[in-house]
Amino acid sequence: MAQAAGAPQQIAAAFESVRKGDASLIGGLVHYGDAVIPAVLPLVTDTDPAVRREAVALLDAINDASAAAAVTPALQDTSPEVAERAARLILRIVLRLGVDKIQGFDAARTLPAEHGSPGAARLLLLGFTHGGESALRTALSAKRLVKLTDADEPVPAALPAAIALSLRGDSKARAQLAERISGDSAASLIFMLQVVDMIDAPDLLQALARRTLADNTAIASGLPAGIEPRRRVADLAVESFIRRLKLNTGIAIHPAASYSATDVAAVRDAVVRNTPQ
């Protein structure tokens, strides 16, 4: 991590510029890593929504458990953009490390988070909460679209709501997820693979594996245009299930890889062996 001696002065200058409408200096603070957190923490609840937005964006770029803990107050921000950005960071850390690794999240997750129209990450986080039932039920029948990240294709808000409710053990939500796995678009399947750690029902895991490992739909993968073969839903599924179930397949995974039919079949068989019937 870079030397943090000059961090307080640069943070103060950068956020003073934000108050004047210029956020161009914020990106230069990322290299300080978690050394910025003490100075940025009070800005997460600043009266200026632009300052709150950039404070959360900076912590989002740092992307560690300390940064996630610092943005927990922003889950209840009146700005949907700020609240969703905070939720995206917290969700990434929750899925990577678990809820117990984020100091302060246990208190934050008791809050209802029902105002506004929660985005995908906020809806998913409600799967770990003690409140938010109304928000999830409303989203379950909503027609609006949400994204997990800005780069993703939109999916119905009902999808993250169903995943969150299923994680709480809701049988109707699990039935809805089963229907979605069998009939939804590639965008919805990709969404489920991105948060496959939240899908804990063995029958849903096996159904999702069967559907996605057989899906050769091309996906956006960040590869330059014209590069062949293109990445497929099946390639993402190979990586997602190896990681989710800690499968010992001997397959070397890489985020730009295209896997062979033999690799795909090996993962499909391993999923069956490693999930209860």
What's the CA gap between 259 and 266, in Å, rounded? 11
Judge if 211 and 170 occupy the same domain: no
Judge if 122 and 178 occupy the same domain: yes
pLDDT at 4: 61
Judge if 100 and 176 occupy the same domain: no
Q: Which domain holds residue 21?
A: 1-108
Taking CA atoms, 51 is separated from 34, 40, 41, 215, in Å, by 18, 10, 11, 43
Residue 31: partners with Cβ closer than 8 Å, 6 or more residues away: 1, 2
pLDDT at 110: 52
Judge if 122 and 100 occupy the same domain: no
Of 108, 133, 159, the residue that ends a domain is 108
Q: How would you class 277 by CB atoms within 10 Å of its CB: exposed for 0-12, middle for 13-18, buried for 19 or more?
A: exposed
Instruction: Report the domain count for the chain.
Output: 3
Judge if 194 and 208 occupy the same domain: no
pLDDT at 13: 95
What's the CA gap between 254 and 231, in Å, rounded? 11
Judge if 100 and 133 occupy the same domain: no
Judge if 28 and 119 occupy the same domain: no
Could you list the pLDDT tens digit for every one of the 277 residues in the chain? 445 666 888 999 999 999 999 999 999 999 999 899 999 999 999 999 999 999 999 999 999 999 999 999 998 888 989 999 999 999 999 999 988 888 777 656 555 545 568 899 999 999 988 778 888 889 998 889 999 999 999 999 999 999 999 999 999 999 999 999 998 899 999 999 999 999 999 999 999 999 999 999 998 765 555 555 678 999 999 999 999 999 999 999 988 889 999 999 999 999 999 987 6
Judge if 249 and 146 occupy the same domain: no
Of 198, 223, 246, the residue that ends a domain is 198
Judge if 193 and 206 occupy the same domain: no
Judge if 183 and 127 occupy the same domain: yes
Residue that is written with structure tokens 């190979």 in the block:
238
- Predicted TM-score of the model (pTM): 0.89
Judge if 98 and 137 occupy the same domain: no
